[in-house]
Amino acid sequence: MWANETALLGSSVLSIGGIIGIMGGLLKNFMFWLPIGIYGLIFGIILVILEYPRGRKNKGNTAERRFQSCTATLLTKLPFVDNYYFRAIAYFIVCIPSAIIVPTLLGSVFVIIGSGIYLGAACHNEKWAPVSARTEVRSQSADVTQPPSRPPPRLPQNVNNPNQI
């Protein structure tokens, strides 16, 4: 879970670093930045899309990110993405080329740290699973199959069936 947060922030910083790299790369002095900047921006955006859906927590309800269902369906179709070993190694390899210029260095270091945390999570046999629909909280009262038919106060003398509120 924390790996997801670090990788998400890291990939956003990588994208911003890519934009800075592109802007600097258009200057005469920093032309070397331009290809790396483009690389950083593209892979930063890909990683943001991959990291945005939050996986399901092992126990309890998981708070989804806003609009995460759009990309979550994409993630369920891609192979390998739910395996954290794959994520750890892939992010590491992706970030090495973008670590050679200073603007994208920051984002790549962050994503590499995120991949390290993913490696730790993979060793604990965690994997990404899509968040299922929230389970309804069962009311503690008697089993109610119908919605209440009258507004509060629901005095018992007005109610015929003590099981129907």
Partner 1 sequence: CCPRRIRRILDKNIKFHRMCAYMIVLMTLIHYFAHSFNVDFFTSAYTSKILRKRLVARLIQIGNAPNETYLNPIRSNVFSVGAVFLLTGGWTGVIITLSLFFMVTSSVEFIRRSYFEVFWFTHHLFIVFYGFLVVHGISMQVRGQTAASLLVHDPKRCSLINPALWPQNNCPTPVFAGSAPMTWKWVIAPMVLYVIERIIRLVRFNQQVEILKVIKHPSRVIEIQMRKKGFNAEVGQYVFIMCPQLSQLEWHPFTLTSAPEEDYCSVHVRIVGDWTTGLSKVLGADESGNEVLPSWKMPKLAIDGPFGTASEDVFNYPVAICVGSGIGVTPFASLLKSVWYKNLNPEHEMVLKKVYFFWICPETHAFEWFGDLLAYLERQLAEIGRQDLIEYHIYLTRGWDHKQHTYPTRGWDHNQ
Give the DSSP letter of residue 149. S
To partner 1, the closest distance from the beta carbon of 71 in angstroms equals 17
**Nearest distance from C-beta of residue 79 to partner 1, angstroms:** 27
CB 91 within 8 A of CB 107: no
3-state secondary structure of 133: coil
What are the start-end ranges of the H helices in 26-158?
33-51, 68-77, 84-98, 102-123
Between 70 and 144, whose beta carbon lies closer to partner 1?
Answer: 144
Phi, psi of 55 (to 5 degrees): -75, 175
What is the binding site for partner 1 (CB under 8 A)? 1-2, 5-6, 9-10, 13, 16-17, 20, 24, 29-30, 33, 54, 57, 60, 63, 99-103, 105-106, 109-110, 113, 139-142, 148, 152-157, 159, 162-163, 165
**80/110 with CB nearer partner 1:** 110
Q: How far is the CB of 69 from partner 1 (least distance, A)?
A: 16
Q: Which is nearer to partner 1, 79 or 152 (CB)?
A: 152
**Residue 59 or 77 with smaller CB distance to partner 1:** 59
User: Look-up: residue for tokens 């996986």?
Assistant: 55
Query: What phi, psi does 21 have (nearest 5°)?
Result: -60, -40
59, 133 in Cβ contact below 8 A? no
